[in-house]
Amino acid sequence: MKKPIFKMFLLTALLAGLYSCNSSDEVSSKSPEASTFKIINVTTHDGRPFSTGNTKTSLTGKYVDNPGGGVMMQAFYWDVPSGGNWWNTVGTKVTAWGNAGIGSIWLPPASKAQNGAFSMGYDPTDYFDFGDYNQNGSVETRFGSKTELVNLITKAHAENMKVYADIVINHNSGGASESNPFTGTNTWTNFTGIASGKFKRTYADFYKNSFGNNDEGAFGGFPDLCHAAPNVQDWLWKRTDGVGKYYKNTMKFDGWRFDYVKGFGSWVVRDWNANVGGFSVGELWDSNVNILNDWANNANSSVFDFACYYKMNDAFDGNNLNLLTDDMMWKRNPYKAVTFVTNHDTDEIWAKELAYAYILTHEGYPTIFYRDYEEWLNKAKLNNLIWIHNNKATGNTSILYADNDEYIARRNGYNGNPGLVVYINNSTATLERWIQTNWSSKQIKDFTGNSTWYPTTQGDQWVKIQCPPKSYTVWSLNI
């Protein structure tokens, strides 16, 4: 994507007024309004206050090394149309997504599950049946055939997009009944008859067994896979022809979204990553940022920022933007935080445009939900925010102002990229505020088009910006 052409502005005292907030009169000295600039009481996670003058920096002070750092598309939703056409449907989108600046797509579980052509894949039976074996009532999966999946991955790679597989390894479903000496009953744990003939498993590979009665958690009454079992480790991540390496080296997946990681130890994802490689993110459904951060560090993996998700829900829908100053995973470690507004499991935030403005201007790895992008929201506005993320959202974060209705933050830029200032207004009136930038005597503009102002920052870097009601503006140098 081409960057805007740099323009030089020779400003004289006479011309300075032309580039003021209201395009008619420049402020020659700091307005009294600036003296009421609010200092936010933000502390580190261990309670120590920041001491950064009039602004409060993010908890890490880290930056995203390249402009934007990437945007992920969740390329499905719950109960996408059955009939085996989903891989082809997504295939028709990837070129446009790539042109819009999407850098990766997350696909649903791709292998055959118990409900065959009607399953969303979260009840896996045969990890090596991608829609090419006649089992569980169908040849194709709900999403299509193996050939169609390979074509989709190939097409995405041609658009320089990475493809992430949804990996469900906590539980299995669709096995045959067998006598289980550890339970004294029959259990549905015999997977020796799977059509691919790969990763055969029996009761010895599920809890309870010789390794114990249980691990971190079972799910939905499904047989709980035992990752301590050598056969399970071998077939999931150790063997060159096992699940992880086959998905990566043969199917050409670039990374993993691990489902329900509360159900097994973080060491499982850590060992998978060490043996297989590729990007990984865990679904750890918990709003406690300490739990998220500990898991991410122990698993050596990214994690979905549920702390951010729930804070955004309370802030935007509860009309309390002060909550956006609270602790979140992206503030602890932006390199391991995957932010999102909604997904196939949860859709609680009503003020979605404001939430997307938040995650696409802040640190972390933002995710866009398929239905938000393709069906429910304004695609042009999302494309604009993706462009802003990829081209302007660099550097660490300083929160400049927050109250019930307003939130203003600054990305401080990196390696010649000037960064940005985002202003979110959740009130019913147009608002204006003086803020301090990193730019002295520079003209700035709103890159969303929601404001027509072209203000010039003062010599001390202060400037007045505005934001329409229930909207957002994103300011940066007018170059």
DSSP annotation string for 191-211 = -TT-TT--S---GGGEESBTT
CATH 3.20.20.80 fits 72-304, yes or no: yes
Residue 43, pLDDT score:
28
CA 111/CA 334 separation, integer angstroms: 31
Catalytic one of 283, 286, 317, 403: 283
- 298 annotated as a binding-site residue: no
Distances from the Cα of 106 to the Cα of 248, 281, 302, 411, angstroms: 14, 11, 14, 27
Residue 254, pLDDT score:
95
Would you call 283 a catalytic residue per the annotation?
yes
Q: Is omega for the bond preceding 30 within 30 degrees of 0, making it cis? A: no
Residue 136, pLDDT score:
98
Which residue do the tokens 């009939």 mark?
A: 83
Distances from the Cα of 298 to the Cα of 219, 267, 289, angstroms: 22, 7, 14
Per-residue model confidence as pLDDT tens for the chain (479 residues): 322 322 222 233 323 333 333 332 333 222 333 333 333 333 222 222 222 223 333 333 333 334 456 899 999 999 999 999 999 999 999 999 999 999 999 999 999 999 999 999 999 999 999 999 999 999 999 999 999 999 999 999 999 999 999 999 999 999 999 999 999 999 999 999 999 999 999 999 999 999 999 999 999 999 999 999 999 999 999 999 999 999 999 999 999 999 999 999 999 999 999 999 999 999 999 999 999 999 999 999 999 999 999 999 999 999 999 999 999 999 999 999 999 999 999 999 999 999 999 999 999 999 999 999 999 999 999 999 999 999 999 999 999 999 999 999 999 999 899 999 999 999 999 999 999 999 999 999 999 999 999 999 999 999 999 999 999 999 999 98
Residue 2, pLDDT score:
28
Provide the residue ranges of all domains of the chain, joining segments of one domain with +. 13-64+397-477, 72-304
Determine the length of the chain: 479
Q: Do the Cβ atoms of 23 and 464 come closer than 8 Å? A: no
Residue 69, pLDDT score:
66
- 234 annotated as a binding-site residue: yes
Would you call 259 a catalytic residue per the annotation?
yes
The beta-strand segments (E) located in 252-371 are: 255-258, 279-282, 302-304, 337-340, 365-369
Distances from the Cα of 410 to the Cα of 169, 267, 269, 439, angstroms: 40, 37, 34, 11
Do 72-304 and 13-64+397-477 have the same topology in CATH? Answer: no
- Cross-strand bridge partners of residue 369: 74
Both tokens of residue 291?
A: 């739990």
Catalytic one of 140, 259, 271, 353: 259
Pick the CATH number of 13-64+397-477 from 2.60.40.1180, 3.40.50.300, 3.10.129.10, 3.65.10.10: 2.60.40.1180
CA 148/CA 164 separation, integer angstroms: 16
Residue 70, pLDDT score:
87
Residue 12, pLDDT score:
31
Residue 368, φ and ψ in degrees, nearest 5:
-110, 135
Single-letter residue type at 289: V
Residue 190, φ and ψ in degrees, nearest 5:
-95, 105
